[in-house]
Amino acid sequence: MGKSDEFGWLDVELIGEQLAESHPTVDPFSVRFTALAGMVEKLPGFMPDPDHPCNEKILEAIQAAWHAAREDLPGADDDD
C-alpha cells in the first residue's frame, strides 16, 4: 500500500465513511471510545501518526462523521 493510501486520526471524514461502509447497522453513538479506537485501527490503510495521537475530541469527531456518512448510505434508516 502506498503512502497516499494511508490515513491517520485526523482524517475523520474518511474514517467516518469507511466505518459507515464496514458497519452499516451500528449506531456510532452506541460505541464506546475504546472500541471505536480499535475499530479505526483495524481499517485498511490506517497508520497512526505519533505527532497526532488519538484523543476524546478526535473520537467525537469520528462518531459525528460516521453518523453523517451512515445517513448518506443507500437504504439508511433513521431507526437503526
**pLDDT one-digit tens code per residue, 48-71:** 988 889 999 999 999 999 999 998
Q: Looking at residue 40, which CATH number applies to its domain?
A: 1.10.10.600
pTM (predicted TM-score):
0.85
Q: Which contiguous run of DSSP H or E holds residue 78? A: none
pLDDT value at residue 71: 86
Residue 79 belongs to a domain: no
pLDDT of residue 14: 97
- The predicted-structure confidence for 9-54, as pLDDT tens digits, reads as follows 999 999 999 999 999 999 999 999 999 999 999 999 999 988 889 9
User: Structural domain tally of the chain?
Assistant: 1
C-alpha cell at 69: 456518512
Q: Is residue 9 part of a domain?
A: yes
Could you tell me if residue 78 is inside a domain?
A: no
Range of the domain at 12: 3-71
